[in-house]
Amino acid sequence: MFHSLTGALAACLLPNIVSAIGLHEAAVAAGLEFFGSATDNGELTDLPYLAQLSNTSDFGQITPGNSQKWDSTEPSQGTFSFTRGDVIADLAEDNGQLLRCHTLVWHQQLPSWVTSGSWTSATLTAALQNHITNVVTHYKGRCIHWDVVNEALNEDGTYRTNIFYTTIGESYIPIAFAAAAAADPDVKLYYNDYNLEYGGAKAAAARAIVQLIQNAGVKVDGVGFQAHFGVGTVPSRSSLTSVLKSFTALGVEVAYTEADVRIQLPTSATTLAQQATDFRNLVGSCVDTDGCVGFTIWDWTDKYSWVPSTFPGYGAPLPWDENFVKKPAYDGLLAGLGVTVPSPTTTTTATVTSTTSTTTSTSTGAPRWGQCGGNGWTGPTVCSSPWTCTYVNDWYSQCL
């Protein structure tokens, strides 16, 4: 149903988003396996949105944003529901797109029977294994990856306090990977987290998680870098590449799994150009890293981004705006994938890169748009002149 409908819609409703080469095509040409997008069930009733999501020139892979999480798949103990996840899995299959499956163990979006249960290590381990076995078995053969454990770390590299860690200990992680591997031996199993891109204590702890799983004799195939950034806070392409390679050196692959680059509203030509540079560096670092297999944005249009509800005053984090019109970020991604983009975009982006580099090199604090605070933040807490460290939320302050 989706396949025949979206083909017609793409031709008649979305002439502005058809290009000579799309993001997925460029990614494959650059040696990656896919460029993809997350999505959610409610958005699929928006037919122009659905048509572009199904445009395999841009998107060769789909990730269900919420419909495979624990509260959706096992809302009460032992009772499983896969209806919402199946809709997205079926859509990907109809379109000939790959499916990244997300996520089996996370401290959020847990049903109350998990968070409020009276558990021992043995009983929670059994519940964890049962959940993973049922969910992974249901989707066996359909997923290329599973994000098995999501966001197990604090910013300082310590383990995040959650029901699994406090009841079972760090062994809940290899236990989860073992259950997933037993349920589907062929799917690739990932640890997934944010802010690993900066290196430092959190990235070191994530590498230790990989080794913890490996030392337990359990399969782990990859690490997902979520890549949620504020504009201007993305490390350099070479720095990003160095961090990615520190993981592939452990014998696992890597991927960018949830990328977006939020902007303080309203946007301007300057912030949109910087966003294009940020996306170019992100995807370019994947191209530069043997073992970086793909790049996924966390939805493709600003219309359905999670950012405004989480970061008040911020938005516009994706390569298409709310009206489904491509932004400079789209060309930034193509450029990072090795595609020659039109000269006006290239010139603007190059100019912004030069300006940003100059500002950063002559300042003593964090640059404009740089992160300067937040829960667990260990980087600079003052900004270069004339910018001020501005509180956004408990997790993020930015030089504005």
Q: How confident is the model at residue 370 (pLDDT cuts 50, 70, 90)?
A: low
- The total domain count for the chain is 2
Instruction: Point out the least confidently predicted range of 40-49, 225-234, 292-301, 351-360.
Output: 351-360
In this structure, are 321 and 379 located in the same domain? Answer: no
**What does the pLDDT look like over 89-139, one tens digit per residue?**
999 999 999 999 999 999 999 999 999 989 999 999 999 999 999 999 999
Q: Is 258 a catalytic residue?
A: yes
- From the candidates 25, 155, 197, 258, which is the catalytic residue? 258
Scanning the structure block, which residue is given the tokens 């994530």? 206
**What does the pLDDT look like over 140-161, one tens digit per residue?**
999 999 999 999 999 999 999 9
Sequence-separated (6 or more) residues with CB below 8 Å from residue 255: 145, 190, 222, 224, 225, 286, 292, 293, 294, 295, 296
DSSP one-letter code for 317: -
In this structure, are 391 and 249 located in the same domain? Answer: no
How would you class 176 by CB atoms within 10 Å of its CB: exposed for 0-12, middle for 13-18, buried for 19 or more?
buried
**What does the pLDDT look like over 310-332, one tens digit per residue?**
999 999 999 999 999 999 999 99
Alpha-carbon distances, residue 48 vs 21, 28, 91, 324 (angstroms): 20, 25, 15, 9
> Which pair of tokens denotes residue 14?
């979305």
CATH number at residue 285: 3.20.20.80
Q: How confident is the model at residue 400 (pLDDT cuts 50, 70, 90)?
A: low
Domain around 42 = 23-337
In this structure, are 198 and 329 located in the same domain? Answer: yes
2 versus 28: which is more confidently predicted?
Answer: 28
Q: Determine, yes or no, domain membership for 4.
A: no
> How much is the pLDDT for 366?
67
Q: Determine, yes or no, domain membership for 210.
A: yes
Q: Determine, yes or no, domain membership for 343.
A: no
> Full-prediction pTM beyond 0.95?
no
- From the candidates 33, 74, 151, 197, which is the catalytic residue? 151
Q: How confident is the model at residue 398 (pLDDT cuts 50, 70, 90)?
A: low
Cα–Cα distance for residue pair 180/317, rounded to 1 Å: 33
Q: Is 43 a catalytic residue?
A: no
Contact (Cβ atoms closer than 8 angstroms) between residue 100 and residue 137: no
Cα–Cα distance for residue pair 275/278, rounded to 1 Å: 5
